[in-house]
Amino acid sequence: MSGAAVVPNTALAVECSGVTKSFGEGSARVQALRGVDLEVRSGELMLLVGPSGCGKTTLISVIAGILDQDGGDCRVFGESVLGMGAREKIEFRARNVGFVFQAFHLLPSLTAAENVSVPLLLNGVPRNEALARAKEILALVGLGDRTAAYSSQLSGGQQQRVAIARAIVHEPRLIVCDEPTSALDGATGISVMELLRSKALRHDRALVIVTHDSRIFSFADRVAQMNDGRILEVGEPALAKA
């Protein structure tokens, strides 16, 4: 395995049981999740793979508390986000979850450093301290010379690295990533995964990454194969299919 290995423990970071989710109504209704069962251990990097449209992004959005499931139970470090009020959800995510969106979702009116500092500001860190920490993290992802650039001045790969820096800057217990290496060349993708393992993964934390990028399979502790809204199997990285 590439990067600094972390031995998973038996505590569960994520526990999904019978999770269902649909979109639309009547004849237009689409069943995105069909009774998903998934356990992610603390100290583990779990890859979620499968064909496009099989429900991977929906699942990680439920795990992160961005979407509410229709049925079943999903707990993050023992807490069910579904039962929380709107403010409680925001506060829980701000403290515990980092999310790398496939579309990045950077705020165009903010610089790279300002974008990265947002999770810290939400957690009450003073602005100057938050910006200083943001610049440190941007340097770790190879963007130390682009901290004052706006998203319109950055390439797709650079924007992706800003999004990754934003997800890890507040040291969340759970990081959820949607195709974090899709806009990166091979070498940069490997360096980002090494960063995620070394800086973001500890015995009391977890990473769940949706990917089609077979180049990063070796970084996983386990790989969950998904299709048609269900987890088919969870196994060793060497057995995974993109």
What are the tens digits of pLDDT across the range 120-170? 999 999 999 999 999 999 998 899 999 999 999 999 889 989 999 999 999
Q: How far apart are CA 6 and CA 18, in angstroms?
A: 29
Tell me the sheet residues that pair with 71.
20
- Interior/surface letters 62-76, b for 16+ CB within 10 angstroms, e for the rest: bbbbbbebeebebbb
User: Model's pTM, two decimal places?
Assistant: 0.87
pLDDT of res. 192:
82
Instruction: Let me know if 233 is exposed, middle or buried by CB neighbors in 10 A (0-12, 13-18, 19+).
Output: exposed
Residue 30 one-letter amino acid: V
Tell me the fold of 12-107+148-239: Rossmann fold (3.40.50)
Q: Is the pLDDT of residue 241 over 80?
A: no
Residue 108 is given by DSSP the state: T
What are the tens digits of pLDDT across the range 37-92? 999 999 999 999 999 999 999 999 999 999 999 999 999 999 998 888 888 888 89
